[in-house]
Chain A
Amino acid sequence: MVISMLRKTQTSLQLKIEQVSFSYNGSEEILKSISFTVNSGQIICILGPNGIGKTTLLTCLAKLNSPTSGKILLNGEDMSLIEHRTIARNVGYVPQTIAPSFDYSVLEYVVTGLAPWLGIFEKPKEEHYQQALQALQKIGIEHIKDKPYTRISAGELQMVSIARVLAQKVQFVLMDEPTSHLDFGNQLKVLNIIKEMAKEGYGIVLTTHNPDQVLLLEGKVAVFDRERQFHFGNWSDILNDKLLKSIYGVTLKICEVEQVSRKVCIAPRIE
């Protein structure tokens, strides 16, 4: 499945996070001097306990929040100096939940992904609607294009969000808990799409509550433990039982399971 809507790009696409710290209104620091890099074609999962700052980090990567110190470089340029529109042409954000007020159709919703590419007074034309339609087709949901997006299932809605970010023609996609309210089947479907996107060259950063997804996606991890210690690297290098215990406070094991021919991250029996 070819998902990519990417333009012809260089391979030196990179989101570089350098010593980034963040706190809300001068209160306690949520992010303390964090550094890591996102390259095109990479998947990075952000793990951590509830409320530790996973979403905050993600929003900083889209310049929806600004770090209190440190900088984020988008393809070599300091993000704080780039205007929102340009950022939106390079970085897409898929929010955790959408709270719709009006019954836009799926197509009308997805075509708004073209917003960073249109002038402020411009309206989308036929060609733009075509691009939106193509995005829907890439994920195989074009049959719901005229349905109001308030009347589709949670799974379909998540696909629609992803379709929009595809229509946005970005290089980096940030997803906030993309599987949190999906049934198992839809969860795997989304993970599949994410893997395809990475293969096509998208750099993807997602937050998740499920460490096993990291193993499925075979990506890198950015981990916050309960003391707000930050760890980054390949999952196979970083994730171990000890780290998992320090994140979640419970025992989790990583073990090789023959039937599925892969390592899994799993909870032991509940007594």
Chain B
Amino acid sequence: MDNTKFRRLFTILIVLLIITFFISLSIGRYSNDPLDVLNTLFSRAGWKEGSNPIMDNIVFYVRMPRIIVSMLVGAMLSLSGAVYQGVFKNPLISPDLLGVSSGASVGAALAIMLGASLAQRQITAFLGGLLAVSITAFIPKLFKNRNNMMLVLSGIIVSGFFCSLLSIMKFVAEEQTELASIVFWQMGSMAKVLGKEIVAITPVFIICTTVLLLLSWRINILSFGDLEAKSLGMNITQIRGIIIVCASLLTASSVSISGTIGWIGLVIPHLGRLAIGTDNTKVVPITVVMGALFMLVIDTLARTVSTAEIPLSILTGFVGAPLFAYLLYKQKTLVE
């Protein structure tokens, strides 16, 4: 099996990620001098005497956490997108499909309205997302229809319901303080992510990503359809169930800390397939790294381009939508 192309691409992406990491660490509203950053890093490591406490604070408490979380979120959203697309045999869907994003949004909005802490908000968003997925998974059982299309329709129903719920909450919220907060968060932002939140989502990221990497070849088989997958001896309900739960956990985690960020779960997997083919054993790892890189770049722009913070969905839409159009053009067979 020709792995050289894959290895090469993966290496290039990792190198790009590391370089971008350092560039991002060096730029920001406070200072754009990479030397400042290097000095800070060296003095932390004990190689240099004297340090600038403000710069130290900025590097380790302001920029570093934010960079890490943007990479994590980018990876998680892209990965869940790639996996959903494989499992539902549909390259045109994204993590929002099953209602996870809207469910998580409602959970988080509830926390904002009740004045809960950021940690509590994360939990309610998590629960909201899982609740939405559970309902989505339950509806086809109610109709005794196990078709993939049924699941998609069910997801649309649940998404729609939770979105309306969110609108009601926005309507009821106090105009001055809560509404603004909910709206801003709905468009995606890393600005308020705390260190402890990053610690909380890391285990989810590690476990779910590992499981999905291990099952990535099986996703190929699931993408052939139920009949073929079953005839190859796969317990499709179980495997598909595990994959959906992992992908949904990844999406809900990400939504709970940074709000809803669109496009990335749709576009990055396509970019990955364009680069490396459709075999999920390659697409899954590539998507993880590409997603991290993409989100890192976007978030760096969001916090440096102007004094005001630009909501992430605006940037991802601005870049993602035309990019997606281009990708569709390149992969004409998809639309046929």
Contacts and interface: CB of A to CB of B under 8 A. Distances in A.
A90 to B, nearest CB: 10
Interface in A10-32: none
Given A88-B231, A103-B333, A121-B214, 16 more contacts: A84-B235, A85-B233, A88-B233, A93-B227, A95-B227, A98-B224, A99-B225, A100-B224, A101-B91, A101-B223, A104-B279, A108-B279, A115-B233, A116-B232, A118-B217, A168-B232
A120 interface: yes
A189 to B, nearest CB: 23
B234 interface: yes
Contacts of A100: 224
A123 B217 contact: yes
* Interface hub of A92, A101, A102, A122 (most chain B Cβ within 10 A): A102
Interface in B260-297: 273, 277-279, 281
A113 B232 contact: yes
B214 to A, nearest CB: 4
A126 interface: yes
Interface string A77-111: 00000001111110011010011111111001000
Contacts of A120: 215, 218, 239
28 contacts: A64-B231, A86-B233, A88-B231, A95-B228, A100-B224, A101-B89, A102-B91, A102-B278, A104-B220, A104-B278, A105-B277, A108-B220, A108-B278, A112-B221, A112-B224, A112-B232, A113-B232, A115-B218, A115-B221, A115-B233, A120-B215, A120-B218, A120-B239, A121-B214, A121-B215, A122-B217, A124-B217, A168-B232
Interface string B191-222: 00000000000000000000000111110110
Contact of B234 (A84, A98, A102, A129): A84
A101 B85 CA distance: 10
A122 to B, nearest CB: 8
Contact of A102 (B216, B223, B230, B233): B223
Interface residues of A, number: 34
Interface string B76-105: 000000000010011100000000000000
Contacts of B35: none
B269 to A, nearest CB: 11
Contact of A103 (B216, B225, B239, B278): B278
Given A112-B221, A121-B215, A129-B1, A98 B228 contact: yes
Nearest to A101: B89
B132 to A, nearest CB: 25
The interface size bin for chain B is: 20 to 34
A254 to B, nearest CB: 34
A62 interface: yes
Contacts of A126: 1
Contacts of B218: 115, 120
B127 to A, nearest CB: 29
A150 interface: yes
A89 B233 contact: yes
A86 B234 CA distance: 10
Closest 5 CB pairs of A and B: A88-B233, A116-B233, A93-B231, A85-B233, A121-B214
A85 B232 CA distance: 7
A115 B91 contact: no
A200 B227 CA distance: 27
A210 to B, nearest CB: 23
Contacts of A85: 233-235
* Interface hub of B86, B239, B279 (most chain A Cβ within 10 A): B279
A105 B277 CA distance: 9
Nearest to A90: B233
A155 B230 CA distance: 24
Contacts of B223: 101-102
B38 to A, nearest CB: 41
B246 to A, nearest CB: 13
Interface string A132-145: 00000000000000
A101 B229 CA distance: 14
Interface in A149-163: 150
Contacts of B333: 103, 150
Nearest to A122: B217
Contacts of A92: 231
